[in-house]
Every structure is written in C-alpha cells, then in structure tokens.
Structure 1
C-alpha cells in the first residue's frame, strides 16, 4: 500500500513540475539564442561604425574612388589590364538584310554609332523620288468649325463684359 501511495505522489509531482520545468528550459534556450543575436548585432554595429570612420579619412576616399569608379588624378594615365580569355573579339560591321540599321563595333565611340545610324536613317529605298514641283490641291470646302468657334468665343467675351458691369 505504501508503494502505491508513493507512486501516486511521484506521478502527481511529475505532472505538476514537468510543465513548469519544460517552460523554464525552453525560455533559457530562447534567452541564449537572443543573447547570441544581440552579440552578433553589436559586432556588426561595431564593424559598420569602423567603416563609417574610415570614410572620414581622405586617403581612404581617394582609394575608393580609384578602385570603384576608376578615377585618376590629373596628370596620371589609367591602364586597364584585361584577361585575354574573357575579352570578346570585336565583330566587324554587318548590315542586316531585313533592316537598314548597321551593327556597330564595340570599340567605336558612341557618337560615331549615332552618326552612322543617322546616315542609315537618311537613306531611302523608294523607287519614286518626291517631286518638289508637285503641290497638293487646295480644298475648296469651307471649314465651318473655325467660324463656329470664333462666334462662341465672341459670345463668351460679350457675356463676360456685360456681367462685369456694376
């Protein structure tokens, strides 16, 4: 009988203590995870502040302008070393059969390609040239929309003038 009572007391104690102990252990794990996240955020914040302080140094700003934007100081010559395996061979100028637009080489300056496109756009393939002496025939029908518009404008001006009088 004592063993049964002792077993019941242990089961009752386990049922009462287990949820509380489980919640405590889960909260401790969450707290450890949050502390590690805070430490990582502080470390990142310190790194960002150090980088921000580096931007106050004029030498660092100059180095970044040279590296990122390829700037050079006056009097210096800039050289760009290109890996020959990654450089594409420039294609020759080819005119597409369907359209009169020419493909340009990659080494041409932009204004050369613009000029070439204007030259190509100025050429026509029309078989019949325009006759400069030929003039369009004059339409003898009277445009009534202009007359009605003028009349409406005059009526509105008259109404505005009459309503402005005291």
Structure 2
C-alpha cells in the first residue's frame, strides 16, 4: 500500500470542498428580488392608479350630485302636491268663506261679529281706542290716507 501523504480528515475536507464547489456552480447566481419585469409591472400599476384616481373621484362626486338632485326633485314634487291640494281647497266657496271669516273677520248678513281680546296688549291691534271699534277696512283706508299725506 502506498503511503498517503494526506490524512483521512484532509481528504474528506478536500472532497467536501469539491462537492460544495460543484453544487454552487450548478445553482445560478442569486439575483435581486426585484427584476426588471417586476419593476415595470409596478410602474404600470402605479400609473393606472394615478390615471384612474381623478375619473373615479369625479364619478363618485357626480353620483352624489345625482342623488342630491333626486332628493330635491322628490321634495319639489311633495311641495307641488301640497300646493295642488291647497289650490283645490281654495276652489271650494265654503273654504273661501271660512278663511274670510277667520282671517278677515267677515260676518254674514244678519250675524253679529265679536272680536275677543285677551288684554295682553300684544298683537297688531289698531292704534287708538276709536280705531278698535271701527271695521278693519276703515282702518285700512285711514292707513292708506295717512301714507298718502306723507
């Protein structure tokens, strides 16, 4: 048997280094995680997000405006319906008489009109004790005459 110049430990070490060299040579060198394709894809995605942000915001804003306009249209429709009902009431002569009695203190022929005051002194009472005893239309004409004299 020829004498080995190297010991077993030295030979095992050399064999391990050769095996490791073969393994590391077979595996490709490690690259960065961010490849050129990935960077391009990220750039395209960011561009799309930026490009679509303004139109999306405008779309949401316009949808909100449309909802507001629909709400206003419903409110206007309800107000129109109330006005139509009020117009129909005013077409009824009995309702007109009732409103004239209530607001203008009209009395029908043969009736006696009374005006009850609570004594609080508030309200739109005519000026002077004599004016309180006259009909409303005389007070109105007096007010027009006094305004004409000014």
- Does the TM-score normalized on the shorter chain lie above 0.5? yes
User: Structure 1 or 2: larger helix share?
Assistant: 2
Q: Quote the residue 2:7 is aligned against.
A: none
| 1:106 lines up with 2:141 in the alignment | no
Deviations 1:125-161 (A, max 9, x none): xxxxxxxxxxxxxxxxxxxxxxxxxxxxxxxxxxxxx
Deviation at 1:57, TM superposition (A): 1.0
CA distance in 1, matches of 2:41, 2:82: 60
Deviation at 1:7, TM superposition (A): 2.1
| 59, 65, 70: which one aligns with 1:30 | 65
| 87, 103, 120: which one aligns with 1:85 | 120
Deviations 1:84-136 (A, max 9, x none): 1226xxxxxxxxxxxxxxxxx812368xxxxxxxxxxxxxxxxxxxxxxxxxx
Q: Aligned-pair RMSD on alpha carbons?
A: 1.9
Report runs of 4+ in structure 1 exceeding 4 Å deviation: none
| 1:1-166 equivalent positions in 2, closer than 5 A | 1=35, 2-86=37-121, 106-108=128-130
Deviations 1:18-45 (A, max 9, x none): 1111111111001001111111111111
Q: How many pairs align?
A: 93
Gap runs ≥5 in structure 1:
88-104, 111-166
Gap runs ≥5 in structure 2:
1-34, 135-150
Which entry has the higher C-alpha Rg, 1 or 2? 2
Q: Quote the residue 2:10 is aligned against.
A: none
Higher RCO (C-alpha 8 Å, min separation 6): 1
CA distance in 2, matches of 1:69, 1:36: 38
CA distance in 1, matches of 2:50, 2:114: 78
CA distance in 2, matches of 1:42, 1:26: 24
